[in-house]
Structure 1
Amino acid sequence: MNRHSIYALVLSSLIGIGAASCTKYNEVDPPRLDLQHQEELPLPTHTISQLKALYKSGGVQINKPIVISAVIASDDSEGNLYKSCYIEDETGGMELKFALGNLSSIYPQGTRVRLLCHGLQLGDYAGQINLGYTSKEEKYETAFYPELLVYRTLLKEGSSELKPRDLTIATLSKQYAGTLIRLQEVQFLSSELGQTYADPQGKDKNRNVNRTLVDRSGRLLIVRTSSYAKFAGHTLPSGSGDVTAILTYFRDTPQLLILREQDVQLTRARF
């Protein structure tokens, strides 16, 4: 064996040792970003509404192999949603408190998933049931589920056509909480025209800002926007039209969570 062959062999061995050393200290295998094979996926056992019905005051840790088949309803690409996502099925929707930044780059809106709930925690925040991790803080019933574990819990099933539910302010209901809706025939209050969605310059003080939509009958609805959103400093549109967003509730108060600025289609004349 000549000198160059010996050098190549030694180098190859060192690379192999380095790779093995890296693998040894990885607690979680690298995520599979390809779609799961259908035959590998566990069968669904519950709907979202059935899962939420298991909640009890104080929080409930799930110790059974509960599996949900659902669709990713949210999109965090414009920063109005952070380390959370929303899933929905035909029975309703809910928030997953998963500490994975840029989650929609891996699970885009419309991705059909199987959610493995064993080990997760059902909790309540301001009247809305969510799913996350067991919290060490007594004031919260759930914490954020660790980023590296999300891939083991949220399995890709494929893609699905996600259509928002067409609603009006008058027909909003908690049964649609956590789902994607399209709100028809609304506009921002005249008193708010010229203002921005949120406050990017003062985001340390005003992390979220409320604006108000109104319909033809004078019914009002809050639009809550993070001052960290990419469109936070953009001026509110002055026209009327439709808004597609996630419907949330703070206790009994409905709110809209806009995902992308393009989902605000207020392009018609004001009424």
Structure 2
Amino acid sequence: MRRIAGFSLALLLCGACDTSTKATPEPQAELVSIACLKSLGTGGGCVVTRDLTVRGTVTANDLRGEFPRTLVVEDATGGLSIAVDRTALADLFPLGCELTVHCTGLALGDYGGKIRLGARPTGDYDVDRIDGADLGRYLRCTNPNNHLRRPRTALLADVGPADADRYVRFEGVRFVEAGAAWCAPDPDTGERVATLRTLIDDAGRTFAVRTLPSAYYAAEPLPSGKGSVSGIVDYFNGELSLRVINYEADFFGALRATPATHPTACP
């Protein structure tokens, strides 16, 4: 995690965004793509001083405790994590809603190599969380049912750092640790801790699945058999992982219990 720096660089980068990434702007606001916005934080981050907005579909929230105090929004060019200091975000910004983010005054931080959006940092973290009292200023659900929340089907080997915060679906995979709990207990305290489990496909390729103990199903066993898993791609310090979302609808109901067998950037 790094402190925000390089504000003048950010202003130069913003001017480099190609007009093909822009949609019809709202009054006195410039609507840019998520990829274009994230490019402003490359190389150390920035505070957004221009009147910019992005618009996309909410693909992850805290509905099942999987993304506490976080929203993930995605458009055709990429995904973006937004750090928010509030609980019950799913009540305000349900999965699948169209979210308009007014970015002016917010900050783009580099969190382990992934660009995320939050409030201007006041300490040593890349960004602070947006105060819950300020949500109406920055975030607006403009269409609660736009029906555009669909994962992109991908192979384990095809996902890379550029896919961070994208909503993807892996098919024909199984858990190496089937039957173990999603989150392992701490040997000293017995409390559940964030845990990495492993997906594997028929070719032997693997992909980590990271689950937080705040997830409602943290103590439940991983399913056996082969099936499909949907989630948000995470990236931190060179390591990729998948974070499952909306467990009952996107994962558990989609997994088929069969016998186990051996995105466009800103131009």
2:84 corresponding residue in structure 1: 98
2:159 corresponding residue in structure 1: 172
2:112 corresponding residue in structure 1: 126
Q: Does 1:63 align with 2:38?
A: no
Give 2:129's match in structure 1, choosing from 144, 151, 154. Answer: 144
Q: Is the 8 A contact 2:186 2:193 kept in 1?
A: no
Tell me by how many angstroms 1:204 deviates: 8.1
1:75 corresponding residue in structure 2: 61
Structure with greater proportional helix content: 1
Moved over 3 A (4+): 39-44, 199-207
Give the Cα separation in 2 of the matches to 1:173 and 1:56.
17
Residue-by-residue CA offset, 1:49-94 (whole Å, 9 max, x unaligned): 0001111433311111001111111131111110011000000001
Q: Does 1:266 align with 2:238?
A: no
Q: Is the 8 A contact 2:49 2:104 kept in 1?
A: yes
More displaced stretch, 259-268 vs 156-165: 259-268
Distance 1:201 1:56, change over 3 A: closer
Amino acid at match of 2:172: E
Tell me by how many angstroms 1:177 deviates: 1.6
Q: Is the 8 A contact 1:187 1:266 kept in 2?
A: no
Q: Identity of paired residues, percent?
A: 28
Give the Cα separation in 2 of the matches to 1:204 and 1:76.
24
Residue-by-residue CA offset, 1:91-138 (whole Å, 9 max, x unaligned): 000100011211111110111121100010000111100000122222
Q: Is the 8 A contact 1:200 1:232 kept in 2?
A: no
Give 2:95's match in structure 1, choosing from 86, 105, 109. Answer: 109
Q: Which has the higher relative contact order, 1 or 2, with Cα contacts under 8 A spaced 6 or more apart?
A: 2
Distance 1:101 1:42, change over 3 A: farther
2:9 corresponding residue in structure 1: none
More displaced stretch, 177-186 vs 120-129: 177-186
Give the Cα separation in 2 of the matches to 1:101 and 1:44.
30
Q: Does 1:155 align with 2:145?
A: no
Tell me by how many angstroms 1:157 deviates: 1.3
Distance 1:204 1:108, change over 3 A: farther
Q: Does 1:186 align with 2:173?
A: yes
Residue-by-residue CA offset, 1:118-174 (whole Å, 9 max, x unaligned): 010000111100000122222x21111101101221112113221110111022133
TM-score (ref. length: structure 1): 0.79
Gapped regions of structure 2 (runs ≥ 5): 1-24, 262-267
Q: Is the 8 A contact 2:58 2:74 kept in 1?
A: yes
Q: Is the 8 A contact 1:200 1:227 kept in 2?
A: no
Amino acid at match of 1:194: G
TM-score (ref. length: structure 2): 0.80
Give the Cα separation in 2 of the matches to 1:150 and 1:266.
36
Distance 1:195 1:42, change over 3 A: farther
Distance 1:41 1:169, change over 3 A: farther
Give the Cα separation in 2 of the matches to 1:204 and 1:145.
33
Gapped regions of structure 1 (runs ≥ 5): 1-38
Give the Cα separation in 1 of the matches to 2:60 and 2:185.
22
More displaced stretch, 251-260 vs 226-235: 251-260
